[in-house]
Amino acid sequence: MPIDIPLISEELKNYLKELFGDNIAQKYLQKIVSPMEEYSLHVYRDVSIIDVILENLRENGFEARQHNDFPNMVVVSPKGPFELSLKEDSKEIVVDNRAAEMIYQGSDVFAPGVKRANRVKAGDIVNIVNQNDIFVAQAEAVMSHNQMMVEKKGIAAKNILSPYIVPSLESLDNKSLPVYFQSLPAYLAVMNLDPQPDERILDCCAAPGNKTLHLNELTKDQARIVAVDRSKRRIQKIQEKIETFKTSNIITKVGNIIALSKEWGVKFDKILVDPPCSSLGLRPRLVHDISTNTIKSIADYQKAIFYACDNLLKSKGILVYSTCTITKEENEEIINYAVQKLNYTVLEQNFMYSKADVPIGNFNFPVQRFIPGIDKTLGYFIAKLKKS
């Protein structure tokens, strides 16, 4: 059976209750262990292929529809939940927690995620568990234990049954189509930035590049867009997307935006800031063990990123700040820092879709919060600001 409540530290449980109250905290915990109720496919430019995508998804057993307000988005629901029973006499493969979350929603078992697979042989039907002994799937091994641990690449076992199956481009044979998965909140973050042709726009923590492409789509290839990420590997992935989607006006740069802001003399009209965060909004999460000290440490780094972007933004320029987490330290407190210390004004957003209306502390900003258990998405935060 699907998991009801994630393994969660008492420290984080108390934090959530203090942040949201008992009722919403419980709703969040019940939903964070399941995939999003609604996934969204962004169709890049060519909306004429919507019917092909819908037909493809439906033929593969998924419920899918065109978004009511955004014609270039397809909304699709995962399959499940399915009944899953532990086979007591079966061997098991132990995988790391991140791999377990992917397997829990239909992914095969890849060798790099395997931590232990004692006596497993190719052809064995095995139980898949994470490092906390949470049962996530049944699978058929296609490698022996030695192969998994030595080769460390490729598919170690094929998923037979998991609680959920989420759509993927690979499984739906949509790889050649100009589409990519982009959550509704991430889509809205770009829409609320309102990028225009001829503007100079910075996507300062750009990986995996979906919002960068969206910026380019909205500006019809006529803006000057710079995509920055500190990982060379992730920038290479963005570059591959740029080539796949045949865009010519996006510049990529490997580097830490804090250091780059001290080197560059350029000023941007608009900046999209989606910094590294505690990721407490991502779904599904089977284990929650991040400490409040870690949350505060991440928030300090986010303030440094915001300060760096402030140095790169023109006077009266627009900045959209977003995260895929639900903490006040990484969200409202960052916005309060921008208002109090950097003289920003928080603006109303043109695209408001969150159903969560939860007051956080004494903050009264017109921001947008998505909370699992209230919204059908991942947990997310969006704020739009203007530099005074």
Share of residues in the chain with pLDDT > 90 (%): 87
**pLDDT tens-digit profile of 172-181?**
665 678 899 9
- Please say which residue of 111, 128, 161 terminates a domain: 161
Asked if residue 19 is part of any domain, the answer here is no
pLDDT at 209 over 70: yes
Give the residue-averaged pLDDT of 237-242.
91
Asked if residue 360 is part of any domain, the answer here is yes
Examine the domain organization and report whether 227 and 362 are in the same domain: yes
Residues spanned by the domain of 107: 91-161
**pLDDT tens-digit profile of 5-54?**
889 999 999 999 999 999 999 999 999 999 999 999 999 988 899 998 99
For residue 246, give the CATH number of its domain.
3.40.50.150
Examine the domain organization and report whether 217 and 289 are in the same domain: yes
Asked if residue 17 is part of any domain, the answer here is no
Query: What's the pLDDT band for 285 if we cut at 50, 70, 90?
Result: very high
Reply yes or no: is the peptide bond before residue 81 cis, omega within 30 of 0. Answer: yes
Give the residue-averaged pLDDT of 87-101.
93
The predicted pLDDT at position 174 comes to: 58
pLDDT at 234 over 70: yes
Straight-line distance from the first to the last Cα atom of the chain, in angstroms, rounded to the nearest whole number: 53
Examine the domain organization and report whether 342 and 248 are in the same domain: yes
DSSP-assigned letter for residue 131: T
Mapped onto helix, strand or coil, the DSSP state of residue 116 is: strand
Q: What is the DSSP string of 3-53?
A: -SS-EE-HHHHHHHHHHH-HHHHHHHHHHTTS--S-EEEEE-S-GGGHHHH
Query: What's the pLDDT band for 89 if we cut at 50, 70, 90?
Result: confident
The predicted pLDDT at position 173 comes to: 64
pLDDT at 1 over 80: no
pLDDT at 171 over 90: no
Asked if residue 108 is part of any domain, the answer here is yes
pTM: 0.95
Examine the domain organization and report whether 281 and 156 are in the same domain: no
Asked if residue 297 is part of any domain, the answer here is yes
Residue whose entry in the numeric block shows the structure tokens 């591959």: 240
Examine the domain organization and report whether 198 and 278 are in the same domain: yes
pLDDT at 107 over 80: yes
Examine the domain organization and report whether 193 and 294 are in the same domain: yes
Examine the domain organization and report whether 223 and 256 are in the same domain: yes
User: How many domains are there within the chain?
Assistant: 2
Asked if residue 85 is part of any domain, the answer here is no
Examine the domain organization and report whether 207 and 309 are in the same domain: yes
Examine the domain organization and report whether 135 and 211 are in the same domain: no
Examine the domain organization and report whether 101 and 239 are in the same domain: no
Tell me the residue type at 5.
Answer: I
| Number of residues written out for the chain | 388
Asked if residue 383 is part of any domain, the answer here is yes
SS3 annotation, 135-204? EEEEEEECCCHHHHHHHCCCEEEEEEECCCECCCCCCCCCCCCCEEECCHHHHHHHHHHCCCCCCEEEEC
Instruction: Report the mean per-residue pLDDT for the chain.
Output: 94
Examine the domain organization and report whether 279 and 375 are in the same domain: yes
Do strands 91-95 and 114-116 pair parallel, antiparallel, or not at all (unpaired)? antiparallel
Query: What's the pLDDT band for 245 if we cut at 50, 70, 90?
Result: confident
Between CA 308 and CA 146 the distance in angstroms is 48
**pLDDT tens-digit profile of 320-363?**
999 999 999 999 999 999 999 999 999 999 999 999 888 898 89
Mapped onto helix, strand or coil, the DSSP state of residue 227 is: strand
Asked if residue 113 is part of any domain, the answer here is yes
Examine the domain organization and report whether 96 and 213 are in the same domain: no
For residue 112, give the CATH number of its domain.
2.30.130.10
